[in-house]
Amino acid sequence: MSSIKDVAKAANVSTATVSRVLANHPHVRQEVRERVLAAVAQLEYRPNLIARNLRSQQSNTLGLIVSDIRNPFFTAVSRAVEDTAYAHGYNVLLCNTDENPEKELLYLQLMGDEQVAGVIFSPTLQTLNRFHELNLSFPTVLIDRSLRSGDVDAVLLDNVSAGYTLAQHLINQGYRRIGAIFGEASTTGRERQRGFEDALHDAGISMQPEYLRFVRPRSEAGHSTTLDLLRLPQPPEAIFTSNSLLTAGALQAIRERRLQLPEQIGLVGFDDTAWASLVQPAITVLAQPTDEIGRSATELVLQRVADPQRPTRKIILQGELIVRESSVEQRVRA
């Protein structure tokens, strides 16, 4: 491997000049800069980032801690974070917690040990409830999950409004007995529940407790819970799910029971995954602006890195209802 001394010798400059060029220092003649960069390319020189961070006391790595990388929502957000970080000259260290508070604490400690510049984080309820006890040493931006009290940067979906919109769509299609399956691991499910119940209340529909379920946000739970709902003496006419993994599980259960969408049962869920538009019939969804969430969160954490004393910001984004065949069934129900 080439060293900075090799680059300096090839470009006929000092090692200090090479360092200034690599740091994009403004006070370097253009001719010298081009000569150094040509030598870097020719020798395939790669700077020692750890050593550079120790000297500058500033890391060029951001941490991203997501709760379930299998969830297409977090996959899409991660891609947007990486794209934005790369454009600003930063790397991304990605960790997946599986909604496990112990893994969250382990990875937060890892971020401190790695001296990352900042972290983008989607925490569980347990970690949110003790968030201020963590005394994190790095700038943090929360995504997807809301901290009710405290001064922390965050990028969130308006989950109450989103839940209301999706439930209202089912109601407008004539569905009245609606089963709802929410993730239990975070604030997101509770907020979407509130919007769901508000929509039923405004339409004069009584919420039946047996139709409301909180489960682990996994496809297996969506599958088993939907089967339970369909076994009720008076099963629901439609299923509402709060994430795409639960939607996939619900769809599997509906197909196992050989029920026709939307004639015999309706189905709606969150997040516009690739498969949602490819299955037949296609699934009605409340799409989240994943690109904007990832980009905004990365920009917020970089702003905090540049100015630790600036006021905190909470960015609330709106989702988009995408109506497809799984819920379009105009009929009057008793």
Percent of the chain past pLDDT 70, that is, above it, reads: 93
Q: Rounded to 5 degrees, what angle do the CA atoms 330, 196, 141 make?
A: 130
What is the predicted pLDDT for the residue at 149?
72
User: pLDDT by residue (tens digit) across 50-59?
Assistant: 455 544 456 7
Residue type, 307: D
- The answer as to CATH 3.30.420.40 being correct for domain 59-157+290-317 is no
Closest by Cα among 298, 279, 287, 282 to 321: 287
Q: Which residue has the tokens 């931006």?
A: 141
pLDDT bucket at 132, cuts 50 / 70 / 90: confident
* Mean of pLDDT values over 99-120: 93
pTM over 0.85: no
Domain with CATH 1.10.260.40 in the chain: 4-47
What is the predicted pLDDT for the residue at 50?
47
* pLDDT averaged over every residue in the chain: 91
Half-sphere exposure for 47 (CA within 13 Å, toward CB)? 17
180 by DSSP, 3-state: which?
Answer: strand
What is the predicted pLDDT for the residue at 141?
97
User: pLDDT by residue (tens digit) across 154-182?
Assistant: 999 999 999 999 999 999 999 999 999 99
Q: Could you tell me the fold of the domain covering 159-288?
A: Rossmann fold (3.40.50)
Tell me if 145 sits within 8 A of 131, measured CB to CB: no
What is the predicted pLDDT for the residue at 276?
97
Percent of the chain past pLDDT 90, that is, above it, reads: 76
What is the predicted pLDDT for the residue at 76?
97
Q: How many CB atoms lie within 10 A of CB 258?
A: 7
Q: Cα separation of 170 and 14, whole Å?
A: 70
Residue type, 36: V
User: pLDDT by residue (tens digit) across 184-217?
Assistant: 988 999 999 999 999 999 999 999 999 999 999 9
Half-sphere exposure for 16 (CA within 13 Å, toward CB)? 1
H or E segment and range at residue 134: none
Tell me if 109 sits within 8 A of 136, measured CB to CB: no
Q: Cα separation of 197 and 32, whole Å?
A: 66
Beta bridge partners of 238: 178, 266
pLDDT bucket at 20, cuts 50 / 70 / 90: confident
| Dihedral sign for Cα atoms in the order 69, 213, 291, 23 | negative
What is the predicted pLDDT for the residue at 46?
72
What is the predicted pLDDT for the residue at 236?
97
What is the predicted pLDDT for the residue at 115?
87
Q: Cα separation of 212 and 195, whole Å?
A: 13
Domain with CATH 3.40.50.2300 in the chain: 59-157+290-317, 159-288
Q: Cα separation of 5 and 11, whole Å?
A: 10
C-alpha separations of 231 from 212, 214, 267 in Å: 14, 17, 17
Residue type, 159: N
**CATH number assigned to the domain with residue range 4-47, chosen from the 4 options 1.10.260.40, 3.40.50.300, 3.40.718.10, 3.30.230.10:** 1.10.260.40
User: pLDDT by residue (tens digit) across 57-106?
Assistant: 567 899 999 999 999 999 999 999 999 999 988 999 999 999 999 999 99
